[in-house]
Amino acid sequence: MSILKFAVKPLIAMAMLLPAASVYADFNHQKWDSLLDDHVTMTNGGKASVVDYAGMQADKSQLASYLKATSQVSQSEFNRWNKNEQLAFLINVYNARTVELILTKYPNIKSIKDIGSLFSSPWKQDFIPLFGKTRSLDDVEHNLIRGSKRYNDPRIHFAVNCASIGCPALQDDAFTGKRLDKQLEQVTAKFLADGSRNRLKGNTLEVSPLFKWYKEDFASNWRGSNNLEGFLGRYSQSLGLNKTQAAALKQGKINIGYTNYDWDLNK
């Protein structure tokens, strides 16, 4: 056998492997993206959104088809994806399943908190088939996303949506691995720019209770921010702070307070 043949055979083998590898490059979120485009309207300059749940209900078969596809992803397949693709998938699953949960009671629902009981909150109900188990919304957010310590990105709190006015806006497009960092940066900046939820009053920066509930995430040394003030300081422009105020915030000279959270349905 010639030297050329010896050289060509490994190249052929590598070429045969490439198509298989590309299967795991990205999950197709097109159906979810289409539903969001059709039934979510951005308001207040993109800082908030309203959801047409009646429209979502009319397109429930499309939602079911998308969710069925997500439930068929195996753990081994998911493990082959890069971190951004994994995180985009989990965020989309969380948001789509939240819409599905709302539709089980719509239109007779004023708040997601109306679902469940005293002993079983909506976030603790096991109804999500994923990776061979039936999971809850809490399991997806707090175990698969936050608890895994794989992603370590506090900006996820402005991407996962709890179907409430006080929650960061449900976006009108799906998250994707290729655009994830840009998308997370945009939703964070937009949320912090919303003066109804985050504003400077005198010497107190009043921010969403999200920053109190998940304070440890914002102090996790993400991109050098080892405390809440450091994280907020990265977005001083979105918060409307001038240079003097931004410096005072980072130095701990501005008090942190918290606004109220509106649990009414985002419709």
Domain edge (last residue) among 157, 183, 209: 183
**Same-domain pairing of 96 and 154:** yes
The answer as to whether 135 is a domain residue is yes
Instruction: Write down the mean pLDDT value for the chain.
Output: 91
**Same-domain pairing of 141 and 75:** yes
Query: What integer pLDDT is reported at residue 120 of this predicted model?
Result: 82
**Rounded to an integer, what distance in angstroms lies between the CA atom of residue 237 and that of residue 207?**
15
Q: Quick check: 22 pLDDT over 50?
A: no
The answer as to whether 54 is a domain residue is yes
The answer as to whether 266 is a domain residue is no
In DSSP notation, 42-69 reads: EEGGGTEEEE-HHHHHHTHHHHHHHHHH
**Same-domain pairing of 36 and 154:** yes
Residue 228: which pLDDT band, with cuts at 50, 70 and 90?
very high
Alpha helical stretches, state H, 23-154: 30-39, 53-58, 60-71, 75-80, 83-103, 137-138
Nearest to 162 by CA among 107, 121, 196, 219: 121
Structural domain count, the chain: 2
Tokens of 123: 């976030």
Q: What is the pLDDT of residues 99-119, one digit of tens each?
A: 999 999 999 999 999 998 777
State which residues form the domain around 240.
195-259
C-alpha distances in angstroms, 16 versus 20, 79, 112, 115, 207? 8, 21, 49, 50, 53
The answer as to whether 82 is a domain residue is yes
**Same-domain pairing of 175 and 209:** no
Tokens of 172: 């009108």
